[in-house]
Structure 1
Amino acid sequence: MNIKKRGIINQDKLSGEFFLNSIMQEAYAHELLSESEIENIQLQCLKFLAFKSEKYNGGESSSIRIEEAENIMKSNLYTIGLFLKSLSDSEDAIKELKTTPIPEIYQKGRELINVKEHSAKHMYYRVKSNKIINPNYAYNATIDEQGISSFFKLYNPDYAAHEISASIDYQLCNPVMDLVGIEFIQKYLENLYLENEFCRCFEPINIHHLLSGYDEGYKDLLINIFEQVLTSAVGCMLTHHSVFKLDISQREIEQLHNELSDDDDQSISLRINKAAEMLLQELKIKSDSLKKYIEMSIPKIALNIVQAVRTNTLGQTFVSAINPDLKPRIQFLSGIKMEDKNYRKLINELLICRYSSDKLSLIKEKVKSFEDIEDILFDARLNEKEVVSVLNMLGDVEIAALLKRHPVKSEIHAADLTEAEYALRVYLKSYYDQLTADRQGQISIIENQLIDE
């Protein structure tokens, strides 16, 4: 009977994150585990939870909070599932559940965590070694001390093996799905290492110019560098352009659009796949792991290109590289700030002013520098109407300077801003949105050319 049932469990239905629960459900559904066997496993898990909770309390038998007990149970189930997942197939995992006590399975899983943690630390060292030179904040923060490094300092495999105690803002081209704890970190690092390896085929300055063409403020954006570089590299192959410069002109993008627009979706995808194969040869990529990762990434890029062709937005998928250092610049001088004593006196006067018109008159009379205007927008507790009145006093250069310092399109989370900083960005966006398109364009040009002192 067991031989007939062997292999009937659909592996796609087994959760990577909740492996133990999912395999028990599938085993019960296919009569590989009886109801009494399920109840026995659950009872063993509860008894083991009591044992772990006592250890968590330092050997005392006093109760712990429900939230803590639930978290320890999740950690236990994750660790047990981690070992079962490592076995050759699901039938072996079910046999292990039937014949081996839960504490013993847990201990095997706990030992496996140690192995994976050691492996992940080694991979983290390799990621730091092959890290590319780029100013993107999320990329650097994730790899540096405040990011993944904190995982190894804070990870608690005994009582929170399923948690990811790290700040990981940098998104991969192929996100790690259905994994948590040490498995997530290990897979994330493996993918990041491969993305770095690919990007290291290109000079950092060429990647910088490419991403500057995407958005000059890209250093503050949550973008994936590898995806942008791979997309551009494929575009270079499609346009028969030198791949290493990562630069496609607007004329070449328009020509490519005209070529692709006559093809159906499948034909476009075939051309992209062929270009990707040629790219691997051009870059002399030998690593099977990297080849596989690039092949896994191409369908996503192909879909973006097909959609761009159909919506006539190919210029947003393929971007022309720019060197921001060669652009004309405007030197912005903000003027001499008020003395601290006089500034504090002005703020106090503004705070007790009852009428907006009186506040505006005070600002016009006493404020002579941009720096003081900026500080007042933070300190004087002005409402939106009053802020707009102050902004109306400013010229395009001053508005551009404010937008450069407090970008309304920034992907910095509101939680990372003070209340005053968040309010100013909201008011600035509202003010900017109501301007004419011509003035918006002029301010945008000035902002891109502005050199703040």
Structure 2
Amino acid sequence: MENIEKFSRIDRLKLNEEHYFQSLLEQAYLIGLLSEDELEKIQFDCLAILARRAEQYNNGDSSSIQVEAAQNILTSIMFTVGLYLKTCDCPDDAIDALRKEKLETLYLYGRKQIDKMLNITKLLQGRIINDLIDTPNIFYGSTIADGINGFFKLYRQDFSAHEIHITADYPTYHEVCGLVGIEFIKQYLENIYCENSFCNHFTADCIHHLLCGYHEDYQNLLINLFEPIFITALGCVIAHADVSNLKLSFADIDYLTRIFKGASNEKTELILQSALDELRKLFSLPAYTLRYMKKGLPKIISVIENAIVLNTMDRVFLISKYPENTPVLSFSFGDKMDDELYRKIIDEIMQSQDTSTKIKIIKENIYSFADLEDILLDANLSAEDVNAVLHELTPTEIVALIKKHPMLQEIELYNLRESEVLLCNYLNDFLIALPPQQQIWIKKAAKAIDLID
């Protein structure tokens, strides 16, 4: 009988986690658990605590505090009281505590709760830092170490216990919603701890190559690292692939597509739940990590459902990529000709009236790619002229030009000369006129080519 949940007249789900104390009073008043006189007394007691905290804040003078600062301290007081009231078995018990205890006493209980949570959170952060995922992602480590340290440095329990002070840039798989102050930071780090406890079963190289399959520049992206690792691990179990190395093949992706295509949400959930149970056995996952992962299954079901419709299953279950094995093509622009000779050729081209004559002059006199690039920039060539020159070039030469003069955002063009902007536009027009497969090849080659001026 002791395990039966206590009945409460106040619906816990209707209470606001961020403003728990205020919403508790509101709900209690609405259903008649608190009278108007009792509510006024609680409000008066809050103001009495505010007066004492304002005096402490202002070094003994409570009369000259700014309205904004006073409001912030009052919010902090209500957050602190609410933090303690959350520890009561049910909302009705919290109201009983408000009746039986002085509000100052409940506030002090809340302050002790904050101190306890701070100590726990600092210990948790230390454990996480000692076992961070080895990753080049710039947001992951900097948020967990520097960002959280910034919170501890700025946090003032007596005057702004509800504030976070930092942005916590790195996103956790399950977003922390409706919490503020130390509650937010503690929950945020608990999420990170759960994610790390799973991800650390894989080597740094394995994780790196998997995330390269998501995006080669993932180290600069604001993404959650746990999600693709978790989902791909599930995929490996389902496809009977190499889970320990997160190795999926294109054949595995086809198999997963067939498995999930046409499956109901209930069937998909059973498949994922079974795979998660296999991961639990394989890695001896602790209960808190398993609960965290299980909570994500509905989200994965939705992602799979969309991927089936869009035929993008390879963006859900990732295939590892090895950028270091991509062959690098070196291209030299060569040496430039004598300045005087170059000026004569430029003059001759600019005096010519038709495109064919200009092309003939270029082919007979220009022998290095460095000089050709200068001609394209300096000879006042029309779009038709440039297009004709580009059709004379090899695919590798086209790639080199596009790598050197990529299409930029409008704001980036302000630093370029007019001739450079024109060449960028001409090259882009030339590229989009090519067959789609050729465009893809050129864009991939432009990423791999190494230009030597």
TM-score over 0.5 for the pair:
yes
Question: 1:256–1:8: structure 2 CA closer, same or farther, 3 Å change rule?
Answer: same
2:186 partner amino acid? Q
Distance in structure 2 (CA, Å) of the matches to 1:270 and 1:204: 31
Contact 1:400–1:443 (8 Å) recurs in 2: no
Distance in structure 2 (CA, Å) of the matches to 1:101 and 1:219: 53
Distance in structure 2 (CA, Å) of the matches to 1:317 and 1:41: 53
Corresponding residue of 1:36:
37
Corresponding residue of 1:210:
210
Alpha-carbon deviation of 1:422?
10
Corresponding residue of 2:53:
52
Distance in structure 1 (CA, Å) of the matches to 2:54 and 2:333: 61
Structure 1 gaps, min length 5:
337-367, 374-391, 409-418
Corresponding residue of 1:294:
293
Distance in structure 2 (CA, Å) of the matches to 1:178 and 1:433: 47
Q: Give 3-state SS (helix, strand or coil) of 2:44's partner.
A: helix
Corresponding residue of 1:356:
none
Matches within 5 A, 1:49-198: 49-145=50-146, 147-198=147-198
Superposed CA RMSD in Å reads: 3.2
Question: 1:252–1:122: structure 2 CA closer, same or farther, 3 Å change rule?
Answer: same
Query: TM-score when scaled to structure 2?
Result: 0.76
Residue identity (%) = 35
1:305 partner amino acid? I
2:254 partner amino acid? E
Distance in structure 2 (CA, Å) of the matches to 1:183 and 1:423: 47
Structure 2 gaps, min length 5:
1-5, 336-368, 375-389, 391-396
Corresponding residue of 2:315:
316
Question: 1:297–1:333: structure 2 CA closer, same or farther, 3 Å change rule?
Answer: farther
1:252 partner amino acid? D
Distance in structure 2 (CA, Å) of the matches to 1:335 and 1:49: 76
**Which is higher, the Rg of structure 1 or of structure 2?**
2
Distance in structure 1 (CA, Å) of the matches to 2:157 and 2:333: 53
Give CA-to-partner distance per residue, 1:119-144, whole Å, 9 cap, x none: 10000001101111011111121122
Distance in structure 2 (CA, Å) of the matches to 1:335 and 1:75: 68
Alpha-carbon deviation of 1:84?
0.8
Distance in structure 1 (CA, Å) of the matches to 2:207 and 2:240: 19
Give CA-to-partner distance per residue, 1:212-249, whole Å, 9 cap, x none: 01100111111111111000001111111111111211
Corresponding residue of 2:448:
449
Distance in structure 2 (CA, Å) of the matches to 1:155 and 1:319: 40
Q: Give 3-state SS (helix, strand or coil) of 1:125's partner.
A: helix
Distance in structure 2 (CA, Å) of the matches to 1:403 and 1:51: 64
Alpha-carbon deviation of 1:165?
1.9
Runs of 4+ that moved beyond 3 A: 330-336, 394-404, 419-425, 430-435, 437-440, 450-453
Give CA-to-partner distance per residue, 1:107-127, whole Å, 9 cap, x none: 111111111101100000011
Give CA-to-partner distance per residue, 1:352-402, whole Å, 9 cap, x none: xxxxxxxxxxxxxxxx99xxx9xxxxxxxxxxxxxxxxxx9x964465467
Alpha-carbon deviation of 1:12?
1.0
Matched residue pairs, number?
380
Distance in structure 2 (CA, Å) of the matches to 1:175 and 1:239: 29
1:155 partner amino acid? Y
Contact 1:209–1:323 (8 Å) recurs in 2: yes
Question: 1:63–1:312: structure 2 CA closer, same or farther, 3 Å change rule?
Answer: same
Q: Give 3-state SS (helix, strand or coil) of 2:244's partner.
A: helix
